[in-house]
Amino acid sequence: MTRFFVPFVVALFATMLFSEAKADVFKFVDASGHVFYTDKPKHSGYKLILHSAPVLSYVSNNAGVTRFVGKGRGERPRPQLSALHAQRQEEFAPLIDAAANKYSLDPALLHAVIRAESGYNPGAVSNKGAAGLMQLMPATASRYGVRDRFDPQENIEGGARYLSDLLVMFPSNVKLAVAAYNSGEHTVKKFGNQVPPITETQNYVDRVLGYYYR
Protein backbone atom coordinates (compact mmCIF):
# COMPACT_ATOMS: atom_id res chain seq x y z
CA MET A 1 0.00 0.00 0.00
CA THR A 2 2.86 2.38 0.77
CA ARG A 3 4.21 1.93 -2.78
CA PHE A 4 0.82 3.02 -4.12
CA PHE A 5 1.15 6.38 -2.43
CA VAL A 6 4.72 7.18 -3.54
CA PRO A 7 3.67 8.91 -6.79
CA PHE A 8 1.08 10.85 -4.80
CA VAL A 9 3.68 12.06 -2.33
CA VAL A 10 6.03 13.16 -5.11
CA ALA A 11 3.21 15.08 -6.76
CA LEU A 12 2.20 16.59 -3.43
CA PHE A 13 5.75 17.81 -2.75
CA ALA A 14 6.02 19.30 -6.22
CA THR A 15 2.72 21.13 -5.79
CA MET A 16 3.91 22.57 -2.50
CA LEU A 17 7.15 23.84 -3.96
CA PHE A 18 5.41 25.82 -6.65
CA SER A 19 2.16 26.90 -5.03
CA GLU A 20 2.49 27.22 -1.28
CA ALA A 21 4.46 29.59 0.92
CA LYS A 22 4.59 27.01 3.68
CA ALA A 23 3.35 23.45 3.33
CA ASP A 24 3.97 20.72 5.85
CA VAL A 25 3.36 17.05 5.03
CA PHE A 26 1.51 14.78 7.44
CA LYS A 27 1.25 10.98 7.42
CA PHE A 28 -1.49 8.74 8.83
CA VAL A 29 -1.58 4.94 8.99
CA ASP A 30 -5.02 3.48 9.68
CA ALA A 31 -5.84 0.23 11.51
CA SER A 32 -5.62 -1.72 8.25
CA GLY A 33 -2.14 -0.44 7.48
CA HIS A 34 -3.27 1.98 4.77
CA VAL A 35 -1.00 5.00 4.52
CA PHE A 36 -2.31 8.49 3.82
CA TYR A 37 -0.41 11.72 3.15
CA THR A 38 -1.76 15.28 3.23
CA ASP A 39 -0.78 18.87 3.85
CA LYS A 40 -4.11 19.50 5.61
CA PRO A 41 -4.59 16.93 8.39
CA LYS A 42 -8.21 16.37 9.43
CA HIS A 43 -7.52 14.80 12.82
CA SER A 44 -4.78 14.34 15.41
CA GLY A 45 -3.84 10.90 14.07
CA TYR A 46 -1.76 12.51 11.34
CA LYS A 47 1.94 12.95 12.18
CA LEU A 48 4.21 15.64 10.75
CA ILE A 49 6.87 14.02 8.56
CA LEU A 50 8.10 17.00 6.54
CA HIS A 51 8.32 20.65 7.45
CA SER A 52 8.84 22.44 4.18
CA ALA A 53 10.94 25.60 4.13
CA PRO A 54 9.39 28.24 1.88
CA VAL A 55 11.09 29.36 -1.33
CA LEU A 56 11.89 32.94 -2.13
CA SER A 57 9.27 34.44 -4.40
CA TYR A 58 6.22 36.64 -4.50
CA VAL A 59 2.83 35.25 -5.44
CA SER A 60 -0.30 37.20 -6.36
CA ASN A 61 -3.69 35.58 -6.09
CA ASN A 62 -6.77 36.36 -8.15
CA ALA A 63 -7.77 39.08 -5.70
CA GLY A 64 -4.52 40.91 -6.34
CA VAL A 65 -3.19 40.23 -2.85
CA THR A 66 0.57 39.76 -2.85
CA ARG A 67 2.10 37.45 -0.29
CA PHE A 68 5.76 36.81 0.47
CA VAL A 69 7.09 33.31 0.18
CA GLY A 70 10.16 33.30 2.38
CA LYS A 71 13.35 31.30 2.26
CA GLY A 72 13.24 29.69 5.67
CA ARG A 73 15.26 30.45 8.77
CA GLY A 74 17.79 33.23 8.47
CA GLU A 75 15.60 35.43 6.26
CA ARG A 76 12.88 37.24 8.11
CA PRO A 77 9.71 37.61 6.05
CA ARG A 78 8.28 41.02 5.22
CA PRO A 79 4.82 40.08 3.95
CA GLN A 80 2.11 42.58 3.20
CA LEU A 81 -1.11 42.12 5.13
CA SER A 82 -4.04 41.09 2.99
CA ALA A 83 -6.97 43.48 2.83
CA LEU A 84 -8.94 41.27 5.23
CA HIS A 85 -6.06 41.02 7.70
CA ALA A 86 -5.49 44.77 7.54
CA GLN A 87 -9.17 45.34 8.27
CA ARG A 88 -9.06 42.99 11.24
CA GLN A 89 -5.84 44.55 12.48
CA GLU A 90 -7.52 47.95 12.54
CA GLU A 91 -10.64 46.47 14.15
CA PHE A 92 -8.76 44.87 17.04
CA ALA A 93 -6.07 47.54 17.47
CA PRO A 94 -7.89 49.28 20.37
CA LEU A 95 -8.15 45.99 22.31
CA ILE A 96 -4.51 45.16 21.57
CA ASP A 97 -3.31 48.60 22.62
CA ALA A 98 -5.36 48.47 25.83
CA ALA A 99 -3.98 45.04 26.78
CA ALA A 100 -0.43 46.10 25.91
CA ASN A 101 -0.76 49.16 28.12
CA LYS A 102 -2.31 47.17 30.97
CA TYR A 103 0.48 44.58 31.01
CA SER A 104 3.37 46.88 30.07
CA LEU A 105 3.92 45.30 26.68
CA ASP A 106 5.07 46.88 23.45
CA PRO A 107 1.91 46.95 21.28
CA ALA A 108 4.05 46.06 18.28
CA LEU A 109 5.11 42.81 19.95
CA LEU A 110 1.52 41.89 20.75
CA HIS A 111 0.54 42.63 17.16
CA ALA A 112 3.44 40.47 15.92
CA VAL A 113 2.36 37.50 18.02
CA ILE A 114 -1.29 37.80 16.97
CA ARG A 115 -0.33 38.14 13.33
CA ALA A 116 1.85 35.03 13.50
CA GLU A 117 -0.67 33.05 15.54
CA SER A 118 -3.93 33.71 13.72
CA GLY A 119 -3.55 36.46 11.14
CA TYR A 120 -6.01 38.47 13.28
CA ASN A 121 -8.69 35.79 12.85
CA PRO A 122 -10.73 35.54 16.09
CA GLY A 123 -12.26 32.26 14.94
CA ALA A 124 -8.97 30.49 14.16
CA VAL A 125 -8.53 26.96 15.50
CA SER A 126 -5.31 24.95 15.17
CA ASN A 127 -5.08 21.19 14.72
CA LYS A 128 -3.73 21.03 18.27
CA GLY A 129 -6.79 22.75 19.73
CA ALA A 130 -5.46 26.30 20.17
CA ALA A 131 -8.12 28.91 19.49
CA GLY A 132 -8.77 32.58 18.89
CA LEU A 133 -6.62 35.56 18.02
CA MET A 134 -3.73 34.52 20.27
CA GLN A 135 -4.31 30.79 19.81
CA LEU A 136 -4.81 29.94 23.46
CA MET A 137 -4.78 26.29 24.48
CA PRO A 138 -7.55 25.25 26.91
CA ALA A 139 -5.09 24.96 29.82
CA THR A 140 -3.63 28.42 29.19
CA ALA A 141 -7.10 29.92 28.87
CA SER A 142 -8.12 28.35 32.18
CA ARG A 143 -4.90 29.51 33.82
CA TYR A 144 -5.66 33.12 32.94
CA GLY A 145 -9.40 33.07 33.47
CA VAL A 146 -10.44 33.13 29.82
CA ARG A 147 -13.92 31.63 29.65
CA ASP A 148 -14.53 32.14 25.93
CA ARG A 149 -11.41 31.80 23.79
CA PHE A 150 -13.31 33.12 20.77
CA ASP A 151 -14.13 36.38 22.50
CA PRO A 152 -11.50 38.82 21.16
CA GLN A 153 -11.25 40.86 24.35
CA GLU A 154 -10.91 37.82 26.63
CA ASN A 155 -8.49 36.10 24.27
CA ILE A 156 -6.20 39.11 23.89
CA GLU A 157 -6.36 39.76 27.63
CA GLY A 158 -5.31 36.20 28.45
CA GLY A 159 -2.62 36.05 25.78
CA ALA A 160 -1.18 39.41 26.82
CA ARG A 161 -1.00 38.33 30.46
CA TYR A 162 0.75 35.14 29.48
CA LEU A 163 3.25 36.96 27.27
CA SER A 164 3.87 39.49 30.05
CA ASP A 165 4.54 36.68 32.53
CA LEU A 166 6.98 35.09 30.08
CA LEU A 167 8.90 38.35 29.77
CA VAL A 168 9.23 38.34 33.57
CA MET A 169 10.22 34.68 33.60
CA PHE A 170 12.87 35.32 30.92
CA PRO A 171 13.82 38.87 31.94
CA SER A 172 13.19 41.14 28.98
CA ASN A 173 14.41 38.46 26.56
CA VAL A 174 11.85 38.82 23.81
CA LYS A 175 13.27 35.92 21.80
CA LEU A 176 12.93 33.42 24.66
CA ALA A 177 9.52 34.75 25.66
CA VAL A 178 8.27 34.27 22.12
CA ALA A 179 9.79 30.78 21.98
CA ALA A 180 8.07 29.92 25.26
CA TYR A 181 4.75 31.25 23.97
CA ASN A 182 4.98 28.68 21.19
CA SER A 183 6.51 25.66 22.91
CA GLY A 184 5.88 26.37 26.60
CA GLU A 185 8.13 27.81 29.28
CA HIS A 186 9.11 24.37 30.56
CA THR A 187 10.47 23.42 27.14
CA VAL A 188 12.62 26.54 26.96
CA LYS A 189 13.96 25.87 30.47
CA LYS A 190 14.59 22.24 29.56
CA PHE A 191 16.99 23.38 26.85
CA GLY A 192 18.95 25.67 29.15
CA ASN A 193 17.03 28.87 28.49
CA GLN A 194 17.70 28.69 24.79
CA VAL A 195 15.32 28.58 21.84
CA PRO A 196 14.46 24.85 21.67
CA PRO A 197 15.88 22.92 18.70
CA ILE A 198 12.37 22.38 17.40
CA THR A 199 11.82 23.43 13.80
CA GLU A 200 8.29 24.71 14.40
CA THR A 201 9.42 26.87 17.33
CA GLN A 202 12.51 28.19 15.56
CA ASN A 203 10.48 29.18 12.51
CA TYR A 204 7.83 30.72 14.76
CA VAL A 205 10.41 32.85 16.57
CA ASP A 206 11.87 34.04 13.27
CA ARG A 207 8.40 34.91 11.98
CA VAL A 208 7.30 36.83 15.08
CA LEU A 209 10.57 38.74 15.38
CA GLY A 210 10.45 39.45 11.66
CA TYR A 211 7.04 41.08 12.10
CA TYR A 212 8.16 42.82 15.29
CA TYR A 213 11.45 44.32 14.07
CA ARG A 214 10.46 45.16 10.52
Least confident of 31-35, 64-68, 123-127, 165-169: 64-68
Residue spans per domain, the chain: 2-52, 83-213
What is d(CA 200, CA 19) in angstroms, rounded to the nearest whole number?
20
SS (H, E, C) 36-87: EEECCCCCCCCEEEEECCCCCEEEECCCCCEEEECCCCCCCCCCCCCHHHHH
pLDDT at residue 193 is higher than 50:
yes
- pLDDT the model gives residue 24: 63
Burial class, 123, CB count within 10 angstroms (exposed 0-12 / middle 13-18 / buried 19+): exposed
- pLDDT the model gives residue 94: 95
Winning range, highest mean pLDDT, from 26-30, 38-42, 84-88, 144-148: 144-148
Question: Which one of the listed residues 20, 75, 91, 117 is annotated catalytic?
Answer: 117
CATH architecture of 83-213: Orthogonal Bundle (1.10)
- Say what the pTM is: 0.63
pLDDT band at 167 (very low <50, low <70, confident <90, very high): very high
Catalytic residue status for 91:
no
Bridge partners for 38 per DSSP? 26
Mean pLDDT across 152-178: 96
